[in-house]
Structure 1
Amino acid sequence: MIAEIQKPVSGATLMASEAAEAGAAVRRLLDANGPALAALARELRAAPPALVVTCARGSSDHSATYGKYLIETMIGVPVASAAPSVASVFAASVSTTRALCIAVSQSGRSPDLLATVKAYQEAGARVVAFVNDEESPLAAMADTTIGLKAGPERSVAATKSYITALAAFAALVAEWAQDEALATALTALPEQLEQARDFDWGAVVETLRDATNLFVIGRGYSFAVAQEAALKFKETCGLHAEAFSAAEVRHGPMAIVGEGFPVLAFATSDAAGNSVREASAEFADRGARVCLADAEAADASPLPVLAGHPAIEPILMVQSFYPMVNALSLARGNNPDAPLYLRKVTETR
């Protein structure tokens, strides 16, 4: 028999308090890692990798999706996501040359992640670790370690470590591409996160309080936060959610979106956001219950958002999302800090 877990009252959860610290955590990340990121970027410009491979699971893997879009759109280097079981289960070797392996982890201790990093390192790849635990085995084996500086994260549900991982990718790409607009946007990010955390997304709680499933939609830079949101609905609310690109959702899944079907959509202010807005409008016309965070609409967005650099907008949206999903978890009778059957460090092999 599973012992009943004491449920927190109101919004007083570890998840809520840790998510609220994201602005300060990003400030620490940027302050502490500026020289290391600049040095890494210089080396990558001098000897560009032919391929970037990301290695991560869960929320960290969603941050890697964000990194993929940033690197491919701003640098032009292809990015692939490693399947950790190739190394940990099949013990297959890696023959890729001129690769950059970016491993992302809160704990830096999952055996399959470490096995994958080792395989790429033995093949000659440069390894960069975005890791919160700077005393971890992953930090020790990396060629360059970027500490996420999120601080202790005791809630099972990752929040501030996810946001700092997104910021780490943005900071690396800003340096690598020498993109002044993105670098300037990052400077303002900590303060903007502190604004975004207080936005009222209560309309989503009312829409999803009794829901059984939903779609979460993004595209481009916002697809990564759609993935993260879908995971958080499942792990903290016991609510089945699927994340789709606004393009991919049209290849079959949209057939089940009809009257009363709930949809949460993240639309950035760029061309990718147009696709999200178009899909949201089509679903709303069918009678779906659409909750839209629309950076192009800014103050007129159905869900309040901060507009700015399109690559930064999703980070601000997920900061607003976390307090809402915490409230939804509580409204559905769950404890977001300690979901059933889950633990903080998942040591998959």
Structure 2
Amino acid sequence: MSESQSLMLQEAQQSPEVVATLLQKEQPVFDEIAKLFASGAPSVVTTAARGSSDHAATFFKYLFEITCGVPVASVGPSIASVYGAPLHLKGGIHFTVSQSGASPDIVALQDAAKRGGATTIAVVNVTDSPLARQADIVLNLNAGAEKSVAATKSFIASVAALSGVTAAIGGKRDLHAALDKLPEALLATNGIDTAAAEDVLFNATSLYTAGRGPAFAIALEAALKAKETAGLHAEAFSLAELMHGPMRLVQPGFPIVAFTPDDPAYVNNVQALERLQKLGATTVPFSTQPLSGANLRVPSTGNGLLDPLVSLLVYYRLIESVTRRKGFDPDKPANLLKVTETV
């Protein structure tokens, strides 16, 4: 690890340029996918992914369902790779999201989806991978080599790519405009002071991350990064679900990292955070709006559905700093490898 910067931080910092390149270079692929939908819109879209890539697929699920009104279902890779079950996806569209495109289980699931009648789309960073070679359409993340075990720029690129797909299919001007502003908004996160939030997480032994809609997907990714880099036990919940059984664990000082964009769920989210604060929770809200707690104000793309992705870049810097402060190497988390090949 560098004396000054980890690979994780260096790669996260590349995200604005990666997203700008991706959105420009892959426009013909976005157009191709939009034509595919226009020629025969499926009644359901399916996805398959693992780890951080699955969180990107979850972001896509919420954004696509909100924008296009078509259900998006995640199919477990083991359905094909372990259980050998056939899939009936005639006329369907199947997206596989992967940084490496090398894990045998997602390759097997994509093959099963194709044999079941679906058009397969690989959203992948390695375009000569088994996944990409087998797919009908390849959407290249254009993220370049990612050496740190913890995925950062490839995750942000995956969400941006799937958001580009959504914008192309949905034809929503506000989403197109927000994507145009995304690289600039990501770049504008430089210099945001995370010191107060860092103290909260450094002193934590366990925490919740939370959000709703696309922000819930970002909460899932945030919880994973807390575990795999800083060794912090973290669980992700919808803020609505957190109001049920999980609230039992909220005691004075319990940390809750909340992704609270200015979208249709904002008012309900703020009310939930106020209730949690009354129970003694220490909240770390990420928002374009001022909120109580160790608030991290982030730039906006102009679309609250996309803004959680901007918050995530700030969170990556935050958790990387906490990890180093704990004496861990964020590039070499214990027990983990960069490419995990599951079956």
When normalised by structure 1's length, the TM-score is 0.95
How do 1:176-195 residues align onto structure 2 when only pairs under 5 Å count?
A: 176-195=169-188
Deviation at 1:8, TM superposition (A): 4.9
The whole-number CA distance in structure 1 between the counterparts of 2:338 and 2:241 is 31
For 1:51-62, list aligned pairs within 5 A: 51-62=44-55
Match 1:272 to one of 265, 275, 279: 265
Q: Which amino acid aligns with 2:164?
A: A
Secondary structure, in 3 states, of the residue corresponding to 1:271? coil
- Deviations along 1:104-157, one digit per CA (max 9) or x if unpaired, are 000000000000000000011011111000111111111110100011000000
Residues 144-293 of structure 1: matches in 2 within 5 Å?
144-293=137-286
TM-superposed CA distance for 1:302, in Å, is 1.8
Q: Quote how far apart the aligned CAs of 1:315 are.
A: 0.9
Aligned residues: 342
**CA RMSD between the two structures:** 1.6
Q: 1:89 aligns with which of 82, 86, 110?
A: 82
Q: In structure 1, how many angstroms separate the alpha carbons of the residues matched to 2:93 and 2:294? A: 39
Deviations, residues 285-305 of structure 1 (Å, cap 9, x unaligned): 11111111122439x992121
Pair 1:22 & 2:15 matched: yes
Equivalent residue runs for 1:3-18 within 5 Å: 8-10=2-4, 12-18=5-11
Q: Distance in 1 between matches of 2:294 and 2:306?
A: 17
Which residue in the other structure is 2:297 paired with? 304
Larger mean CA deviation between 151-160 and 84-93 belongs to: 84-93
Q: Distance in 2 between matches of 1:229 and 1:235?
A: 10
Contact 1:185 1:312 in 2 (8 A): yes
Question: Aligned partner of 1:80: which letter?
Answer: A
What is the identity, as a one-letter code, of the residue corresponding to 2:10? S
Corresponding position of 1:3:
none
Name 2:339's counterpart in structure 1: 345
Q: Distance in 1 between matches of 2:3 and 2:275?
A: 38
Q: In 1, Cα distance between the equivalents of 2:16 and 2:183?
A: 4
Query: 2:326 matched to 1:327?
Result: no
Other-structure match for 2:26 = 33
| Counterpart residue number, 1:102 | 95
Instruction: Give the distance between the partners of 2:67 and 2:128, measured in 1 at CA.
Output: 32
How far apart, CA to CA, are the structure 2 residues paired with 1:61 and 1:328?
A: 24
Tell me, in whole angstroms, the C-alpha distance in 2 between the residues paired with 1:170 and 1:40.
12
**Structure 1 residues 197 and 159: alpha-carbon distance in aligned structure 2, compared to 1, 3 A threshold:** farther
Residue 229 of structure 2 aligns to a residue in which SS?
helix
Query: Quick check: 2:45–2:94 contact (8 Å CA) kept in 1?
Result: yes
* CA drift at 1:276: 2.2
Aligned to 1:4: none
The normalised TM-score by structure 2 is 0.96
* Counterpart AA for 1:323: R
Aligned partner of 2:309: which letter?
I
Q: What percent of counterpart residues are identical?
A: 41
